[in-house]
Structure 1
Amino acid sequence: MAPSRVDAIHTATYSSSKVQERVQTGDWRDDFFRDGFAVIKNVLPKDRAQQYRSDSLTWLESFGLGFDRNDKSTWKKENLPQNWKGGMYLHFSAAHEKYMWDIRCEPGVIKPFSELWETDELVVSFDTVNITLPQSIVGAYDSSPWPHVDQAPERRGLRCVQGIVNLSNSGPDDGGLVVMRKSSSLFNQFFDENPVTGPTPWRTAKHEDFHPFQQKDLDWYRAQGCELMKVCAEPGDLILWDSRQMHWAQFGESDLIRTIAYVTYTPAAWMSEEDRLSKKELFEHYETTTHWPHTNLFSHGKAMVTVDGVETPDPLERDEPITKPIKTEKLLKLAGALPY
């Protein structure tokens, strides 16, 4: 297991952000600052979202394990490469397929982050795709709620805003994001009143910006007036949420394949030169990382399988994407491979 970097959080410094969380803007940011999340409609045209969804399913079919989008009899867990939580692909260079970088470079996807952070000089996470087959067909997943935040209690203030680009529908019965509405604004109060004590096995280097919650914690937030809600969105919509917001992914009851791309952008000015060089190396090796674009830059590593009790590399693992991105200046700056 990688050594803990919790101590590094306490001394982490950032350039001061111009973001003022209570200023009325007259746009989606009012919803975001009030509720801790927002849905920005039509950042992608519907036809382009549909094409990206097709690209993601083509990628899944490329493993040759028997999955065929057009044949529901092939929609089986055993016909898929290894994944996490039913559909998050953290290996196989999935984060760096050309269509994923095309999504990250879409002006409509970038614009809300530029508006939020008040800068066009951004870096983007090497987050990945989620392709979750419906449990109504493939059988139940481990669907227990796993409420968490993706910001360490020691990091205070608005430091990271995560995003989902919807490539499929996310209605009430479809798989999607669940949030504890308005919980982000109570982040400091919660951890002041409920300091983290005892063993914290999740606090590894890769997961320094992660904190899980228990049922009693949900009750605490409810007592403050927060409520759980499923976020609904359509293909081409962007869902943004504060990393201090309690959230998790919910499996759907419909027969829809949930297909999304995760995107997170933060100001490049927040990234140290040391971290930029680390990010550049991760990019050059097509590694998938955490939700954070400018810090906590750790790879998910290579896919492994156990053979006769011994961990060995998954024979399906890939050292590079099957379709490499076109390395434009815009892409390289977003990747941290070129400084602004």
Structure 2
Amino acid sequence: MAPSRIDTPEAVVSKQQTQYGDWRNDFFRDGYVVIKGVIPKERAQGYQSDALTWLESFGLGFDRNDKSTWKKENLPQSWKGGMYLHFSAAHEKYMWDIRCEPGVISPFAKLWETEELVVSFDTVNITLPQSIVGAYDSKPWPHVDQQPERGGLRCVQGIVNLSNAGPDDGGLIVMKGSSKLFDDFFAENPVQGPTPWRTAKHKDFHPFQDKDLEWYKARGCELIKVCAEPGDLILWDSRQMHWAQFGTSDLIRTIAYVTYTPAAWMSEEDRALKVDLFENFETTTHWPHTNFFSHGKATKTIDGEEVPDPLERDEPITKAERTERLLKLAGVERY
């Protein structure tokens, strides 16, 4: 196996009961779960409106109420069709409002059995429908967001749905039950040879090939399109194979990525880095307590030369109030 990319030691959660009497039974059995109504539907739709207002603020011609303006050229740059990794997107007030929602925090507190959590500086996904803007140049990218060297339950990712995620809408695909086979897969299929993705940016990332999907399917796993409504929270184990699927409907997929882990897992070195990222309104990885990596500033290639994107922003349009809860979740203040 290739050299480990683990930078700091951390706790391993190996206790995975199956008789909690609540949604945790489903989570540990399947590797994912949908928790209904963690935010009232009307408030979730309000957050979607905030996200669309943010998208309109670039002045490129996009108007949520005029589908003739739903064009790729009317949008700032994003990754995989709608993940906004730049423009201080992760630190807009509405994003922090979502992270501070008690109903969003509570499932993570229950899962980790502590109220003392830190949150990822993850971003918003606003994906316009292919049925209107045309196909996206992105095939399925099955992967896990935990490096093979990290055994055990270390990270649980989350999506807060701000729009519907029905069978025909864009949404999350998971390989149901694959998280339990994580160690077995890599014991049988050790990482060898050229691994160009194994960089500082992607050290907790592993992509899969078609033959790997068949390996999991042969052991009883199945691909599931996760359906959810505005205000629902999707949780999945970072060892679970997953990817995003573009929809065929005319709905604008709008979600916020949220991940929380125990603050006690974060080293002082990592905390200092997290504070610096927070103060500079940077977007980073799904991991809240380690593996911090800034996506940096947006650039564009003009005449073969990489230059700063003129749309880039050094701070959010609307800053969040720095409450005690926010600062503790951000890692700025200690519990």
TM-score tier (shorter) = over 0.9
Matches for 1:1-340 after TM superposition, within 5 Å: 7-9=4-6, 12-15=8-11, 17=13, 20-340=15-335
Within 1, Cα distance between the matches of 2:12 and 2:187? 23
The one-letter code matched in structure 2 to 1:14 is: E
* Distance apart, 1:6 and its partner CA: 5.8
Gaps of 5+ in 1: none
Secondary structure of 1:108's match? helix
Secondary structure of 2:273's match? helix
Percentage identity across paired residues of the two chains: 79
Within 2, Cα distance between the matches of 1:20 and 1:55? 39
Alignment check: 8 A CA contact 1:6 1:203 kept: no
Alignment check: 8 A CA contact 1:143 1:251 kept: no
* Distance apart, 1:32 and its partner CA: 0.3
Secondary structure of 1:21's match? coil
Within 1, Cα distance between the matches of 2:226 and 2:3? 31
Secondary structure of 2:315's match? coil
* Distance apart, 1:16 and its partner CA: 5.1
Within 2, Cα distance between the matches of 1:262 and 1:12? 24
Task: Provide the aligned C-alpha RMSD in A.
Answer: 1.2
Alignment check: 8 A CA contact 1:167 1:259 kept: yes
* Distance apart, 1:206 and its partner CA: 1.1
Within 2, Cα distance between the matches of 1:267 and 1:149? 21
Alignment check: 8 A CA contact 1:143 1:250 kept: no
Secondary structure of 1:219's match? helix
Alignment check: 8 A CA contact 1:6 1:205 kept: no
Within 2, Cα distance between the matches of 1:45 and 1:228? 29
Within 1, Cα distance between the matches of 2:244 and 2:16? 26
Residues 183-232 of structure 1: CA deviation (Å, up to 9, x unaligned): 00000000000000001100110110000000000000000000001000
* Distance apart, 1:142 and its partner CA: 2.2
Within 1, Cα distance between the matches of 2:75 and 2:69? 10
Alignment check: 8 A CA contact 1:86 1:141 kept: yes
* Distance apart, 1:24 and its partner CA: 1.2
TM-score (norm 2): 0.98
C-alpha change, 1:196 and 1:274, in structure 2 (3 Å) is same
* Distance apart, 1:41 and its partner CA: 0.2
Report how many residues are paired. Answer: 334
Alignment check: 8 A CA contact 1:123 1:294 kept: yes
Within 2, Cα distance between the matches of 1:289 and 1:12? 17
Alignment check: 8 A CA contact 1:176 1:230 kept: yes
* Distance apart, 1:12 and its partner CA: 3.3
Within 1, Cα distance between the matches of 2:257 and 2:162? 11
Secondary structure of 1:221's match? helix
* Distance apart, 1:273 and its partner CA: 0.6
The one-letter code matched in structure 1 to 2:223 is: L
The one-letter code matched in structure 2 to 1:280 is: V
* Distance apart, 1:339 and its partner CA: 1.3
* Distance apart, 1:23 and its partner CA: 3.8
The one-letter code matched in structure 2 to 1:13 is: P
The one-letter code matched in structure 1 to 2:288 is: P
Secondary structure of 1:185's match? helix
Within 2, Cα distance between the matches of 1:119 and 1:224? 34
Alignment check: 8 A CA contact 2:5 2:203 kept: no
* Distance apart, 1:22 and its partner CA: 2.4
TM-score (norm 1): 0.97
Alignment check: 8 A CA contact 2:76 2:311 kept: yes
C-alpha change, 1:28 and 1:301, in structure 2 (3 Å) is same
Within 1, Cα distance between the matches of 2:189 and 2:12? 27
